[in-house]
Structure 1
Amino acid sequence: MTSTEKTPIKVAIIDLYNGHPNQGMRCFQDILDKYRTQNQLDLSYQVFNLRGNNEIPGLGFDIYISSGGPGSPLDSEGSVWETLYFELVENIQKHNNSDHPQKKHVLFVCHSFQLMCRYYGLGKVNQRHSPSFGILPVHQTENAQIDPVFAGLPEPFYAVDSRSWQVIEPNADRFEAIGATILAIEKERPHLDWERCLMSVRFNEYFIGTQFHPEADPEGMRLRLLEPERKKETIAEHGEHKYDEMLERLNDPDKLLLTQNTMIPNFLDQALLTFQEA
């Protein structure tokens, strides 16, 4: 990263939590702080409370990270904040399609991922039969094997899944039309007749999204798993044995910690290649 040492790098974190208590915003900032120190970068970030205050970043940022959040990814259609959000997405796309040498990379997580799948018409966005919550295996597709953001992750890898909504029934024509690819899918459950949901999509060369939470850390996850309501939900969905297994997985360096230390740093590496090339 020597060639970017003196270049100021500006990251926008778009907060879609709408004031809801969460671990995500802390985790994103922790990862960026660590990445800045490890790579000796002049990196700064700014948080925009979009759903709460209609705050939206302009095009003056180099990298964008868009968070998860509560509630339905369908009900916000036509709202002020969502209109601002998709205007930004369109402006970044225009910038990336121009001959400007420095492209802007965007990571869309969970709620943001669902919004983008709806925006591009890539599949059916619907509510799950019950919330999914826990540290669960995620399966990579062949496309992920060659995607630099997934480099260094095993098959399957483990990540925090926390969703009441999902994207299923991928629309092959739309994927082909915009050049998007599926990078990861939900684990197979042969005993159940449910469609496997999309867990990660590369929308284009510069936009990537995950249904799971690549930012999640063991400390935050332990706090959430021990919440009485979460504990009850998780045991109802996965059983007590799986719940105990999740608590054990928190201490395994090859599970959640590996994903947290790999994916977003890989994404940032890719985004910074643009700086070196520019």
Structure 2
Amino acid sequence: MTDKPEVKVAILDLYDGIANEGMRGFQDILKRYREKHQLNLSYGIFDVRKKCEVPEYDDYDIYIVSGGPGSPIDSEGSEWEKKYFNLVDKLEDHNLSNTTQKKHAFFVCHSFQLMCRKYRLGDINLRRSPSFGVLPVHMTKAGTREPVFEGLSDPFYSVDSRSWQVINPDEKRFVELGMQLLAIEKERPHVDLPRAMMAIRLNEYFISTQFHPEADAAGMKNWLGKEEKKTEVVTEHGLDKYTEMLERLDDPDKIMHTQNTIIPNFLDQAVMSLQESLA
């Protein structure tokens, strides 16, 4: 295994020191992927918000950026965000150059919202009530052709956990920038509110989701098993909704299938691209 070219993945932690299941989820996926494909794959973790840590853009081949708490608007102008967007700009410039070794990146939830703000892709606002649970995600026409979604049903299920949202896609900006809306929030016939954007292909090498494709059943059960989280969910959504969440966790066709599909598909693209550039 060690004689194979090294694949280096940077995980950018935007959780600001808050306890979460997301960082474990990313690491578990990378470890399984490494074993399955017998790769010489390593990863580094950078605490972007709490410690202002950002890697040098050319030190890693693949980038995964986590979700995180709080407003995706209030951090504008902060030191950590300046460093973070500077890294994103360098990755974009690198990919626009004539180098054959491109840098692939995946942005989740809070980082999805930050990227939407950066590119002015829609309206960002605080939800009327937090969205939390194992919820259906609906593909757009572009989403049905997205290689990272290959193997998923429509709708597919994933963990949604957010107080903020990005709505009202600016179609003109999408066309101008060559971006594609891949998925939207579940239909809510009884609620006269716009459906949030849930996944965007930002460019050939960058993809982002507002849901959590790294989430797994064990982590969610652990999270929902905490008394304060159970109380929060039951108070906000009712006991039936809480029970439904637990039942959906046991369905192998729901979040476990999503966890075993989306990020591994992304890694397939990124690793194949890297291997071809080194051949």
Partner of 2:5: 7
Equivalent pair of 1:66/1:112 in contact (CA under 8 Å):
yes
| Length, aligned pairs only | 276
TM-score, normalization by structure 2:
0.96
In 1, Cα distance between equivalents of 2:75 and 2:163: 16
Equivalent pair of 1:132/1:234 in contact (CA under 8 Å):
no
In 1, Cα distance between equivalents of 2:200 and 2:51: 28
Query: Cα RMSD between the aligned structures?
Result: 1.4
Whichever residue aligns with residue 9 of structure 1, its letter is V
1:60-99 matches, within 5 Å, as 60-99=59-98
Cα-to-partner distance string for 1:49-82 (whole Å, 9 max, x where unaligned) = 0101110011211000000001100000000000
Q: Equivalent residue of 2:160, what SS?
A: strand
Pairwise CA distance, 1:246: 1.1
Q: Equivalent residue of 1:142, what SS?
A: coil
Partner of 2:223: 224
Q: Which runs of 5+ in 2 are unaligned?
A: none
Cα-to-partner distance string for 1:203-241 (whole Å, 9 max, x where unaligned) = 111110000000001011012222333323333444322
1:120-269 matches, within 5 Å, as 120-269=119-268
Partner of 1:118: 117
Equivalent pair of 1:132/1:237 in contact (CA under 8 Å):
no
| 115-124 or 137-146, which deviates more | 137-146
Q: Which runs of 5+ in 1 are unaligned?
A: none
Whichever residue aligns with residue 169 of structure 1, its letter is N
In 2, Cα distance between equivalents of 1:80 and 1:180: 28
Whichever residue aligns with residue 70 of structure 1, its letter is P
Cα-to-partner distance string for 1:146-194 (whole Å, 9 max, x where unaligned) = 1110000111111000000000011111111111111110011111111
In 2, Cα distance between equivalents of 1:161 and 1:224: 13
Pairwise CA distance, 1:242: 2.4
Pairwise CA distance, 1:133: 0.6
In 2, Cα distance between equivalents of 1:157 and 1:198: 15
